[in-house]
Amino acid sequence: MSRLSRRSFLAASAAFAARPAVAATTKPSAGSGPLDIVIVGAGAAGIAAARRVAATGARYTVLEATDHIGGRCITDTRAFGVPYDLGAHWLYTPDINPLTRIAPRRSVEVYPAPQSQKVRIGRRYAREGELEDFLTAQVKATRAIADAARRADVPGSQTMPSDLGDWRATVEFVVGPYMSGKDLPQVSALDLSKAAERGTAAFCRQGLGALIAALADGVAVELNTPVKSINSRRPSVDTAKGTLTARAVIVTVPTGVLAAGRIAFDPELPHVTVDAFGRLSPGSYDHIALELVGNPLGLQSDDLVFEKSSDTHTAALLANVAGTQLCLIDVAGAFGRDLSAQGRPAMVDFATEWLTKLYGADVKKAIGRTHATNWNAEPYALGAASAAVPGAQVARRALMQPVNDGVWFAGEAAHETLWGTVGGAWESGDRTAEVVLRRLGLLKAAPQAQAEPAAPAKSKARRTRVRETFSPFGSIMRDEYRR
């Protein structure tokens, strides 16, 4: 069966529903007396900010509305008896991703994702010539996005060439819903073009949520503490447990929650900030998880499969996650949003019929336990990762500006190139904390010890031919094929 290099594709994030694999424990606020910094949200950005602040000895605490650390990164081990990432699962560009550099190797294992994936055409896999046609169509689409974004921030759909042929629906799924959680008419072409390369990826064997929880060890977090309001002039945070005052507040809450007004601000936020919340609205991206006993699809560990589709009612399959019998069928965009609104049984029915269409009726006999996520209904998420609407890519920079020199925002939505990724959320939290610490005069010159260094990668001699293509983000990538 033919395979196409993963580097000509991209992947996305999101989903939720049970308990973390690593239990989160509530910890007291660090230090005594008035706080220097309050961090709202214990997701990747919040934990990154807290680690940076804690390293200086500043007085801080992290307030988390839910009962777990990780935010949209949460790993469940109960549903299938193996690590199951309910939310984000991919670590992009692992050679430079901050999370792969600081991962505590004693407790988690980060390993590279396979370098290839398959495309299913009906009941068979695409042949080499068909894969070449698909890649050609994708290159055309990517170039068109990049060219259009240089002139104006238009809807992604307006950039699509007219000669994509019968690969159009599949290409539009990959560069739209699968990448951003939104259909191309609802996503900014400039946002797509500014995104950093995500052609290489890695996974965490224990789950990405478990990795974030491990990195939060020793961080002062107050769980089950929703924030009701924040004062930006005299920095303070109101919760059901009382009011905390500080010199600064870092907010790492998802844009969907902020746009819904779940946290009140006094005084009211500037229009440009409120506008950014709405224009960086979250997409829809969910996992439908099936236990496929006996590997009826005949796939390898972490194989990624797309279908040659004719409409938007399609999905992506990540099979045998980390060598287990767990398979994830990912749905996204408007179709995914409508499907998740129908509930878990409807989602499982779709996944079952979709796999049956591609692999035959015997698949049904192998299905064991099932699960499905619905991030759109999670009150402290209200969707997946952010995706700028057309004309709104500049809102990411607006979100990075402080309010009254007392409140800062951080998270994947506040990263211009790594938006929608856990690495982007981590970088945003870390750099925002550094800015705040400098503003407060608390940043010391001593180097920040993060974690033990990663082991040097072993190189293997191999013969390759190299082909330059364009990623769906508009950046040149080099695709290597083994001879």
* pLDDT tens series, the chain, 483 aa: 544 444 333 332 333 333 333 333 444 444 456 899 999 999 999 999 999 999 999 999 999 999 999 999 999 999 999 999 999 999 999 999 999 999 999 899 999 999 888 999 999 999 999 999 999 999 999 999 999 999 999 999 999 999 999 999 999 999 999 999 999 999 999 999 998 678 799 999 999 999 999 999 999 999 999 999 999 999 999 999 999 999 999 999 999 999 999 999 999 999 999 999 999 999 999 999 999 999 999 999 999 999 999 999 999 999 999 999 999 999 999 999 999 999 999 999 999 999 999 999 999 999 999 999 999 999 999 999 999 999 999 999 999 999 999 999 999 999 999 999 999 999 999 999 999 999 999 986 544 444 433 443 443 333 333 333 333 333 333 332 222
Q: Give the residue from 428, 443, 474 showing the smallest Cα distance to 191.
A: 474
Residue 446 carries which DSSP code?
S
- Cα dihedral 248, 29, 215, 283 sign: negative
Residue 88 token pair? 């984000």
Backbone angles phi, psi at 43, to 5 degrees: -80, -165
Other CB atoms closer than 10 Å to residue 228's CB: what's the count?
Answer: 12
Can you tell me the distance from the alpha carbon of 264 to that of 257, in angstroms, rounded to the nearest whole number?
11
Least Cα distance to 474 among 191, 275, 270 occurs for 191
Asked if residue 309 lies in contact with residue 331, where contact means CB atoms within 8 angstroms, the answer is no
- Count CA atoms within 13 Å of residue 49 on its CB side: 38
Q: What is d(CA 420, CA 341) in angstroms, rounded to the nearest whole number?
A: 22
| Residue 301 DSSP one-character state | T
Give which of 175, 180, 252, 303 is closest to 407, Cα–Cα: 252
Domains of the chain: 37-110+204-281+380-439 (3.50.50.60)
- Give me the half-sphere count of Cα atoms (radius 13 Å) on the Cβ side of residue 345: 0
CB-based contacts of 258, cutoff 8 Å, min separation 6: 251, 277
Write down the residue that tokens 């989903």 correspond to: 15
| Overall size of the chain counted in residues | 483
Distance, C-alpha 482 to centroid of its chain = 30
